[in-house]
Structure 1
Amino acid sequence: MILLDWTNYLNLYTLMSLIGVLLLYWYRRPAKLPPGPRGIPIFGVLPFLGKYGERKIAQWSKTYGPVISLRFGRNDVIFLNDFDSIHEALVKQQTKFSGRPKFALPFITDIAKGSGYVGLDYGDFYKAQKKFGLTALRGFGVGNRSMEDRVQEEDTFLNEAIRSMDGKAFNISKYIHKAISNNICSVVFGERFDYDDEYMEDIMSRLLKLLDDPTNAAAMRICMFAPGLRNLPPIGFVHSRFKKKISVALEFIRKKIEEHNKTFNEDDLRDFVDAFLNESKKENNNGFTNHQLIFYIRALLVAGTETASSTLSWSLICLLHYPEITKKLREEILSVVGPNAQVGMSYKHRLPYTNAFIQEIMRFRTLFPLNLLHKTNEDAELYGYFIPKDTTIAPNLWAAHNDPNYWDEPEKFKPERFIDRKGEFIQSNHVIPFSIGPRACLGKQLALMEVYIFLVSMVQKFEFLPDPNDEELPKLDDGINGMAFIPYPFRVVAKPL
């Protein structure tokens, strides 16, 4: 009996010792790694983040400093929580911090199998694809007058669609999505699609499911930091459904490439697809394959649509919430552009308050709060901390845009913060919605042009009123928060001026 008691005691002692060792291992931080909370074993800090993890992380940074490390599963992720640390890593040490972790796009990784653009790790292949992308986009008008003409033409179609609602409440984001996607489709495929094209509407809906569907968005956000969960219930079910839905959209892209192949003429390159096919026919084509093109196009269509369309949707919600700001914005537009003139880039420098409004929207409603995850390509040092090679880096753009040390009352929407004493617009390098460094958004110039032309034109031509059947205004402080922060669907009444 005494022997049995001692055996039980020994087993208990061994178990407690093992637990102690595991806890010690869990809470032990690698030498010179940035400080930060460790969370709980197995899950780390994941259960504590909530819907708006970027805000919780920014709150922790007040205790631990702008550069902090958080544990997710077995991995430590480094978060950069102010402009200076983001600039130091992504610009000043760009060659060390420009990698991309394998599961930065967890639901896409399994399908893309190392192809595409956004999810590519930093290296020669990525550089070749980026160089091609920039050259091709510029060659087909992005950033110059010919693209402005296309956007202005699409603006006419958008205004006609809004006017056709004849004073009835409608989901304006749906039409904005179609207008923006038509701009990128004209560059990629050489064609636009009618607003009543239900097939194309379905294709774009499938492509954007990861961002604008609340369930998909939440699941993907979790899997960014805990990719293993993508194969386990309940996230595994979401993952499977997404793969089935996006397969239809990828097949659409494949058929478009096939059509281009049949009519390809190297002396008459019509669009991005033709330019890519031309590269693929060269001897040393550096991986310019059909599979690569399919996922490159997917990235262009998703990023090229969601960035500008969600910014415009947030803008319209702000117009509803702040009538005095709306009045000031419209007065400036009508006094400079007039009520009937076509909106063009030539007016832009004469619209300081409009520029301030757009810049404040991009700060106030940060579209990609945690950017896209980066990775260190080699051992690095940041603010005296040692960051090992292959460590995941998360630039907290929301924290940079809401830093009270830099912004006065950052929680408030104040376009006037970007107007100087002379009434001139202040361009701020601290507003970085497209990120910074070599992995900044490829379509930044197109998105800025679209937001400017479409917003100015809509304010010039319509007064937007809330849906009379809704008891409250569309939510401004809440939305779909996955990789991107997107407004919930809302309805407006557009009253022609």
Structure 2
Amino acid sequence: PFTVNMLQSMMEEINVSISFTFLIVFLALYYWYRRPNNFPPGPRGLPLLGVIPFLGNHPERRMRKWSKKYGPVMSVRMGRQDWVVLGDYDTIHQGLVKQGTSFSGRPRIATLEQITEGHGLVFADYGDRWKRQRRFGLATLRGFGVGKRSMEDRITEEVAYLNDAIRSHDGNAFDIQSILSNAISNNICSIVMGQRFDYYDERFNEIMTKLSYGFNDPEVSLVRQILIFMPALVNAPYFSRMNAELMENVRAIIKLLREIVADHKALYDQDNHRDFIDAFLGEQKSENGSETFTDKQLLHYVRDLFIAGTETTTSTLRWSLLCLIHHPEIQEKLRKEILKVLGQEKTPAMENKPIMPYTCAFMQEVYRYRTLVPLNLTHMTNNDVNLNGYSIPKGTTISSNIWAVHNDPALWKDPSKFKPERHLDDKGNFVQSNHVIPFSVGPRHCLGEQLARMEFFIFLVSLVQKFEFLPDPNATDLPEINKGANGVAFVPLPYNMVARVV
């Protein structure tokens, strides 16, 4: 029979279970909400997920809203990790420049590690190996003409091919993305491989297609971003499939690049380095190069150069053309200055740039208005640091909100509007701004910045000199300028336009 003792025993067991459950919940919440001593404040989000469900399609905008509450140095819980977000120019400069060595690490992110296998340059951690590879890259790019007249000549030669490809559309609406990407990539090819490719070359187009995978597709871009924020999701069914497609592309690219490197090895002449690959092979053959300058490092280094050197400048030019289509009065003003300086036939050159203030203002406004990498590539602290009075431990992931700098109303009046004139003084002279930082700042700023700025100027000037860019007459609305595929980079959605010869 059911006795009082049995009831008491049952109640005691229930009480123990409830107490134990409360203890577990309390410890879990304590662990979730605790921070290191003197750590920056910020939102914690949900257990296990952190703030990820609240980021939306534009994490940089959500971050700025939070930073208004918590300050320009704040922490956010990304999945199970605490990141520190730098939310204005002063804190970014203080961290990445003034304490550049301490803030120049790269966090180990599983989804990126599986792509790079710990090699290449862009996602390699800060250290002696990275320093040596970057020094080699800078010296080799300079050696093959970057920043010099010889590189200008290569770019202007490629512009002629691009203009011919545009004319072939005979004023009909088309999407410029592929031929623009091929043109920009050919500048990288001339440095890295010592040759350019025809826009219809099969192997060249296969490389370009696979390199651009995921950058222009909003769904794939979002998945890549989520996997960076929360790598553990790579094993979930949907994310696993998307990640498998990404890795298939990576393997295909590496296979194609391996064939190109094999061709270089077969024809290698130590007394005649034709390009970047030859220069790397020369280092590889030197006495001290065996451990650092490996075949795997070469393949991923070249892949980094192609992605960083192609997608960024291509997307910047596509944003520029969208701005011209949306603002025909700006396009006309830009063309007026270009024709005044160059006429209809003279080839653009970097020496013309100082006497083209409106063109310079237009370019700087594109960099500001459509920030290509809104949250920058993540950094990591190499040691315990102090920033704005907060203590940030070694190994903390750092994100810099460059978009917030470019849209800071304290720096820019009406930041959401496209206004090249904001970069001119009252006499019409161009004013270079330290607050426009599309290539980041500090020791890890973009390796190819000089090349990218040269390409942007010469390509833009030549295109506006030769063509008027108009909306697709068959489209009901102008192409979208306030939306894009926002993943690792913020790039335009596909669009058609008309290029009318002027």
TM (norm. structure 1) is 0.98
Partner Cα distance (1:402, 1:444) in 2: 22
Structure 1 counterpart of 2:280, which letter?
Answer: F
Match of 1:232 in 2: 236
Structure 1 counterpart of 2:450, which letter?
Answer: Q
Q: Which residue of the other structure, out of 118, 140, 159, is the alignment partner of 2:144?
A: 140
Match of 1:68 in 2: 74
Match of 2:368 in 1: 363
Superposed displacement of residue 343, structure 1: 1.2
Superposed displacement of residue 3, structure 1: 2.5
Alignment of 1:119 with 2:123, yes or no, is: yes
Alignment of 1:57 with 2:63, yes or no, is: yes
Partner Cα distance (2:232, 2:122) in 1: 21
Q: Which residue of the other structure, out of 485, 489, 495, is the alignment partner of 2:490?
A: 485
Alignment of 1:170 with 2:165, yes or no, is: no
Superposed displacement of residue 452, structure 1: 0.6
Match of 1:39 in 2: 45
Superposed displacement of residue 6, structure 1: 3.2
CA contact (8 A) 2:358 2:430 kept: yes
Deviation per residue, 1:413-446 (Å, 9 max, x gap): 1111100011100001110000011101011111
Superposed displacement of residue 124, structure 1: 0.2
Structure 1 counterpart of 2:275, which letter?
Answer: D
Q: Call closer, same or farther: CA 1:406–1:284 in 2, change over 3 Å.
A: same
Structure 1 counterpart of 2:325, which letter?
Answer: L
Match of 1:161 in 2: 165
| Aligned ranges 1:384-399 → 2 under 5 Å | 384-399=389-404
Structure 2 counterpart of 1:10, which letter?
Answer: V
CA contact (8 A) 1:155 1:179 kept: yes
How many residues are matched? 495
Deviation per residue, 1:304-357 (Å, 9 max, x gap): 001111000000000011111111111111111111111111211111000000
Partner Cα distance (2:247, 2:81) in 1: 26
Deviation per residue, 1:47-105 (Å, 9 max, x gap): 000010011001110111111100122210000011111100111001100000111xx
| Aligned ranges 1:78-477 → 2 under 5 Å | 78-103=84-109, 106-285=110-289, 286-477=291-482
Superposed displacement of residue 199, structure 1: 2.9
Structure 2 counterpart of 1:283, which letter?
Answer: E
Unaligned runs of 5+ in 1: none
Q: Which residue of the other structure, out of 5, 8, 12, is the alignment partner of 2:11?
A: 5
Superposed displacement of residue 232, structure 1: 2.3
Superposed displacement of residue 229, structure 1: 1.6
SS in structure 2 opposite 1:212? coil
TM (norm. structure 2) is 0.97
SS in structure 2 opposite 1:95? coil
Structure 1 counterpart of 2:439, which letter?
Answer: F
What RMSD over aligned residues (CA atoms) do the two structures have, in Å?
1.1
SS in structure 1 opposite 2:101? helix
Superposed displacement of residue 468, structure 1: 1.2
Partner Cα distance (1:455, 1:136) in 2: 26
CA contact (8 A) 2:111 2:228 kept: no
Deviation per residue, 1:170-213 (Å, 9 max, x gap): 00122110100000011000111111123311211112214233
SS in structure 1 opposite 2:141? helix
Alignment of 1:20 with 2:55, yes or no, is: no
Structure 1 counterpart of 2:361, which letter?
Answer: A
CA contact (8 A) 1:170 1:491 kept: yes
Match of 2:83 in 1: 77
Superposed displacement of residue 36, structure 1: 0.5
Partner Cα distance (1:108, 1:13) in 2: 43
Partner Cα distance (2:298, 2:315) in 1: 26
Residue identity (%): 52
Question: Considering only CA atoms, is the larger Rg found in Structure 1 or Structure 2?
Answer: 2
Partner Cα distance (2:159, 2:170) in 1: 18
Match of 2:4 in 1: none
Structure 1 counterpart of 2:426, which letter?
Answer: R
SS in structure 1 opposite 2:215? helix
Structure 1 counterpart of 2:375, which letter?
Answer: L
Match of 1:496 in 2: 501
CA contact (8 A) 1:206 1:246 kept: yes
CA contact (8 A) 1:215 1:238 kept: no
Partner Cα distance (1:73, 1:162) in 2: 46
Partner Cα distance (1:476, 1:350) in 2: 29
CA contact (8 A) 2:112 2:228 kept: no
Q: Which runs of 4 or more aligned residues in structure 1 lie more than 6 Å from their structure 2 counterparts after TM superposition?
A: none
Superposed displacement of residue 115, structure 1: 0.8
CA contact (8 A) 2:379 2:398 kept: yes
Structure 1 counterpart of 2:377, which letter?
Answer: L
